[in-house]
Amino acid sequence: MQRNNDALVVLGILFFFNILAWIAVYDLSQPRFLEVTFFDVGQGDSIFIETPQGHQILIDGGPSSIILEKLAEEMPFWDRTIDLIILTHPEHDHLAGLLQVLERYKVDYILWTGIVRDTNENKEWRKLIEEEGAEIKIVQAGQEIRLGEGIYFDILNPFENLEGKEFKNSNNTSIISLLVFNQNSFLFTGDAYKSVEKKIIGADANLKTDVLKVGHHGSKTSTSEEFIEQILPKIAVISVGKSNRYGHPHQETLAILKEYGIRVLRTDEEGDIKIISDGANLKIK
């Protein structure tokens, strides 16, 4: 009887590992996707990207520690590394959460503008990225960051190297980047104003995108009709807090997006918004 029980245990173990092996083969046979998740972090911005090659990228961290909860939902509990962090500009609603991330996660690369702001958060950011030991890249327009086959960031703003320059308001220094994955693209605009949008479309008259991260949480300071007419996104995502004191998104911005038949998704209404691309088609979750 004991031998029969032992045999059943062995067979059970073998069956279990066969299932695991089959799952592994099945997973490897699936097409790989680009996943872009616009986190609902309240009145702020934070975007998590996972590439088909498995690279994890975080653009901004929102205004609070809620970013840690959001990352825990997207990443396995044992994963404590992020390949790349991009800080578009060091304002509280984009920067504060990243301070929490740097204390919890190992980061390989950090992209930002290197500007100087006389705030405690900005000083803490500089201290933490030095301690992190990540490779720091100062970016400006014209640079291209390759992430794998058929996928890259095209940096569109700022137009000059801003490292060491001091700003009281850093919105117009925002890193604006176009993430391209084969036939699909996502345009991340930070909080840049209409004046910067005008410079960008002036520099690239053929700029188009499938998904636009609407500038400055839908404020009327961004998202000019001229800009929308040029880039013609299919989807516009507005990262904004419920009942915020700024009145974002402004009706003027919503009216422009509606006029051009653009589908609008808002984190204050939808929560987290995930858009998945196979390089040719988009799916919204």
Token reading at 6:
């032992």
Structure confidence at residue 13 (pLDDT): 45
Structure confidence at residue 104 (pLDDT): 96
Contact 88, 111 (CB under 8 A): no
Written as one letter, the residue type at 60 is D
Contact 99, 121 (CB under 8 A): yes
Please tell me the chain's helix, strand, coil percentages from 3-state DSSP, rounded to the nearest 5: 35, 25, 40
Say whether 49 sits in a helix, a strand or coil.
strand
Structure confidence at residue 149 (pLDDT): 87
Structure confidence at residue 157 (pLDDT): 98
Structure confidence at residue 22 (pLDDT): 45
Structure confidence at residue 32 (pLDDT): 84
Burial 163-198 (b: 16+ CB within 10 A, else e): eeeebeebbbbbbbbbbbbeebbbbbbbbbbbebbe
* pLDDT tens series, the chain, 285 aa: 544 455 444 444 444 445 444 444 444 435 589 999 999 999 999 999 999 999 999 999 999 999 999 999 999 999 999 999 999 999 999 999 999 999 999 999 999 999 999 999 999 999 999 999 999 999 999 999 999 889 999 999 999 999 999 999 999 999 999 999 999 999 999 999 999 999 999 999 899 999 999 999 999 999 999 999 999 999 999 999 999 999 999 999 999 999 999 999 999 999 999 999 999 999 998
- The CA R_g of the chain, rounded to the nearest whole Å, is 21
Which of 209, 213, 207 minimizes the C-alpha distance to 184? 209
Pairing of strands 56-59, 81-86: parallel
Structure confidence at residue 129 (pLDDT): 96
Residues facing 166 on adjacent strands = 116
